[in-house]
């Protein structure tokens, strides 16, 4: 194979274009040998004088630079680095873009190198670079903006960046550390909401954005909404819409996050976060954490109305009750099986091959016993199992700790100023006339917290949505929330709404609300009988 010389230096557009051409030429010789081994398509480039099976440059076939490796690495390690862009979960997000930030200093002081930031855009940036809508996703969300509210990409250039620590593409515990060639795992440094805003701002700069018309987001996304005007130059963000969020993470929310982390820590497979090395994931712990979180997202009344005390009948794979299940051999077997129903780690029950016993017990108990397996229990287990297919335990822990850092007044007050005074002062600096939306039954981010935000942002207006669905109401009541948001935008941004509609918006497709989505916390149209 012919050896080539290629040195990547970001000095001028012409030099960059010349190097891209050389990279394309390299593809003819090298992609046929190696591209099929990695998530691609990639272009691999050798440095002169280095063995052909060692690489120093990786280039995406769509002209996006990915890695400038500091020293030659073995092919296997380089391929691992490629996969840090495409983790086990990024396939769930269609048509993402990536920006690689060469160096980024976190609030904690750590410096990350070659930092991938995943994002999606919809619509077209106008010549002024100011028709920008930023949507900030929630805790377990992604850059898939279609999962939330229906906005108009024919008028706005819509941007959603994936947060640091998420498994969906941005740097996280799943990402390969370029210094070691191995995943960060539990050693990934702590990141904050402010870090997310600052690194997403770098992406907007590269996209040519000069000003942001509005920032919208709920829950954790609402925290980012509050930070955007405070972490960017004055006037860069013109309007904000925080939804079902808080100005600082409460003791109540911090405690729920701790309970969820402890659920993961208690799983023997967690291994202090180094479970990837053992090839086994702490699925039981992560499922339990998800179950606890779901209870905070809903309300008591919503669970009563949806489930009540309805029993869950055992079902075969086709949904029909299986009458050929093995019955319990003894009363002791029956008691043991029922006692451990839902225990994913029960070794004795597995040894007795009593999965069928459990199902049979469920049928018999539902028919004649005072104790039952309830649909509410089945729902939580179903959601826990489903969550394991789309999220990572270390990422979950990381983001809960990110939430704990949230306080818009943190380190922004004077030396002699109280924490509360610093918070009030920070809120007073946000864009005037914000739209603050809350859910009346939200037990996680209380209506009182929405009032606090609205009280201290100059001329802000507060809307509390009637709903029995608790915190998830900010996702389930999308039609009502859309109405308030659109009215607000038409009032605040007449130049965007009165102008001509872009005939073809880039990356739009079938853009709109999805009642059931991969990343939304809520599923509005799930049939509880079809788990």
Q: What is the pLDDT of residues 311-356, one digit of tens each?
A: 887 654 444 434 444 556 788 877 777 787 777 776 655 545 444 5
Angle among Cα 419, 420, 421 to the nearest 5 degrees reads 90
Residues 6 or more apart in contact with residue 448 via CB below 8 angstroms: none
- Residue range 258-283, pLDDT digits in tens: 999 999 999 999 999 999 988 899 99
Q: Could you give the 3-state DSSP secondary structure of residue 462?
A: strand
**Based on the domain organization, do 292 and 170 belong to the same domain?**
no
What is the pairing mode between strands 435-439 and 461-465?
Answer: parallel
Query: At CA 427, angle to CA 423 and CA 432, rounded to 5?
Result: 170
Residues 393 and 405 both lie in one domain: no
Amino acid 22: pLDDT? 47
Candidates 170, 219, 246, 441; catalytic one:
219
Which DSSP symbol is given to 443? Answer: S
Of 37, 54, 83, the domain-final residue: 83
Per the annotation, the verdict on 31 as an active-site residue is: no
Helix (H, G, I), strand (E, B) or coil at 425: helix
Mark whether 119 and 240 lie in a shared domain. yes
Q: Which long-range contacts (CB under 8 A, 24 or more apart) does 526-531 make?
A: 528/306, 528/307, 528/375, 528/379, 530/319, 531/378, 531/379, 531/382
**Does a structural domain hold residue 263?**
no
Residue 267 domain-assigned? no
Q: Is 219 annotated in the active site? A: yes
Active site residue 442: yes
Q: Are 248 and 407 in contact (CB under 8 A)?
A: yes
Q: In angstroms, rounded to a whole number, what is the distance separating the alpha carbons of residues 99 and 354?
A: 51
- Computed on alpha carbons and rounded to an integer, the radius of gyration of the chain in Å comes to 26
Residues 390 and 405 in one domain: no
- The pLDDT assigned to 379 comes to 94
Beta strand spans in 157-301 (E): 157-161, 176-177, 182-183, 212-218, 240-243
3-state class of 275 per DSSP? helix
Question: For the chain, how long is the longest CA-to-CA vector?
Answer: 80
> Is 237 part of any domain?
yes
- Both 363 and 436 in one domain: the answer is no
Q: Tell me: do 313 and 248 sit in the same domain.
A: no
Structural domain contains residue 366 = yes
Which is the catalytic residue, given 152, 471, 472, 517?
471
- In terms of domains, do 110 and 35 share one? no
Domain match, 127 and 249 both: yes
What span, in angstroms and rounded, lies between the C-alpha atoms of 259 and 265? 10
Please, what is the angle between helix 393-404 and helix 251-265, to 10°?
160
Consecutive 10-residue averages of pLDDT for the chain (531 residues): 36 50 45 41 41 41 40 37 62 87 96 93 95 96 74 93 96 90 94 99 97 97 99 98 98 98 97 92 97 96 93 56 53 78 67 49 52 86 95 98 98 87 97 98 97 98 97 90 95 88 56 48 41 28
Three-state secondary-structure class, residue 352: coil
By residue range, what is the domain housing residue 371? 275-397
For residue 201, the domain's CATH number is 3.40.50.1820
Provide the token pair at 208. 């040519």
Q: Which among 359, 380, 397 is the end of a domain?
A: 397
pLDDT for the residue 225: 99
The predicted pLDDT at position 332 comes to: 83
In a domain, 373, yes or no: yes
- Does some domain include residue 388? yes
Name the nearest CA neighbour of 328 among 316, 340, 337. Answer: 337
Boundary-marking domain end, from 60, 83, 106: 83
Residue 352, domain member (yes or no): yes
Q: How many domains does the chain have?
A: 3
Q: Are residues 159 and 224 in the same domain?
A: yes
Check 130, 195, 442, 469 and give the catalytic one: 442
CB-based contacts of 358, cutoff 8 Å, min separation 6? 337, 338, 341, 349
Angle between helices 331-339 and 355-368 (to 10 degrees): 90
329 and 360 within one domain: yes
Q: Classify residue 523: in a domain, yes or no.
A: no
Residues 385 and 462 in one domain: no
Q: Do 414 and 393 lie in a common domain?
A: no
What CATH number has the domain bearing residue 327? 1.10.1740
Provide the pLDDT for residue 417. 83
């Amino acid at each position: 194979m012919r050896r080539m010389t290629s040195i990547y230096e970001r000095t001028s557009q012409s030099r960059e274009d010349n190097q891209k051409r050389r990279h394309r030429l390299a593809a003819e010789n090298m992609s046929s040998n190696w591209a099929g081994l990695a998530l691609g398509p990639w272009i691999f480039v050798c440095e002169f004088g280095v063995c052909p099976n060692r690489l120093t440059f990786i280039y995406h076939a769509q002209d996006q630079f990915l890695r400038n490796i500091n020293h030659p690495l073995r092919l296997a390690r380089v391929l691992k680095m490629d996969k840090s862009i495409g983790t086990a979960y990024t396939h769930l997000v269609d048509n993402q873009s990536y920006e690689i930030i060469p160096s980024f200093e976190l609030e904690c002081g750590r410096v990350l190198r070659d930092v991938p930031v995943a994002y999606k855009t919809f619509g077209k940036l106008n010549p002024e670079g100011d028709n920008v809508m930023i949507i900030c996703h929630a805790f377990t969300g992604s850059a898939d903006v279609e999962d939330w509210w229906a906005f108009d990409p024919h008028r706005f250039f819509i941007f959603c960046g994936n947060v640091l620590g998420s498994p969906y593409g941005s740097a996280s515990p799943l990402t390969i550390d370029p210094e070691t060639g191995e995943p960060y795992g539990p050693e990934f440094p702590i990141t904050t909401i402010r870090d997310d805003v600052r690194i997403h701002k770098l992406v907007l700069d590269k996209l040519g954005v000069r000003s942001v018309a509005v920032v919208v987001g709920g829950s954790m996304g609402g925290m980012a909404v509050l930070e955007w005007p405070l972490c960017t130059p004055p006037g860069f963000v013109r309007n904000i819409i925080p939804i079902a969020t808080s100005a600082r993470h409460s003791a109540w929310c911090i405690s729920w996050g701790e309970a969820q982390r402890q659920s993961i820590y208690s799983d023997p497979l967690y291994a202090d976060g180094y479970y990837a090395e053992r090839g086994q994931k702490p699925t039981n712990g992560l499922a339990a954490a998800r179950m606890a979180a779901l209870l905070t997202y809903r309300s008591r009344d919503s669970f009563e109305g949806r489930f009540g005390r309805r029993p869950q009948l055992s079902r075969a794979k086709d949904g029909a009750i299986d009458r050929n299940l093995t019955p319990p051999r003894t009363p002791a077997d029956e008691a043991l099986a029922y006692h451990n129903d839902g225990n994913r780690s029960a070794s004795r029950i597995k040894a007795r091959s009593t999965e069928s016993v459990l199902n049979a017990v469920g049928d018999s108990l539902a028919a004649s016993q005072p104790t039952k397996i309830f649909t509410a229990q089945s729902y939580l287990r179903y959601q826990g199992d489903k969550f394991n297919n789309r999220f990572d335990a270390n990422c979950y822990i990381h983001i809960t700790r990110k939430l704990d850092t949230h306080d818009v007044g943190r380190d922004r007050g004077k030396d002699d100023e109280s924490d509360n005074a610093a918070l009030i002062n920070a809120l007073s600096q946000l864009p005037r006339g914000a739209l603050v939306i809350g859910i009346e039954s939200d037990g996680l981010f209380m209506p009182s917290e929405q009032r606090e935000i609205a009280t201290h942002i100059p001329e802000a207006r507060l809307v509390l949505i009637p709903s029995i669905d608790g915190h998830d109401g900010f996702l389930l009541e999308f039609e009502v929330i859309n109405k308030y948001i659109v009215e607000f935008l038409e009032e605040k941004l007449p130049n965007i709404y009165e102008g001509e509609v872009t005939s073809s918006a880039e990356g739009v497709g079938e853009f709109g609300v999805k009642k059931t989505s991969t990343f939304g916390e809520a599923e509005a149209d799930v049939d509880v009988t079809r788990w």
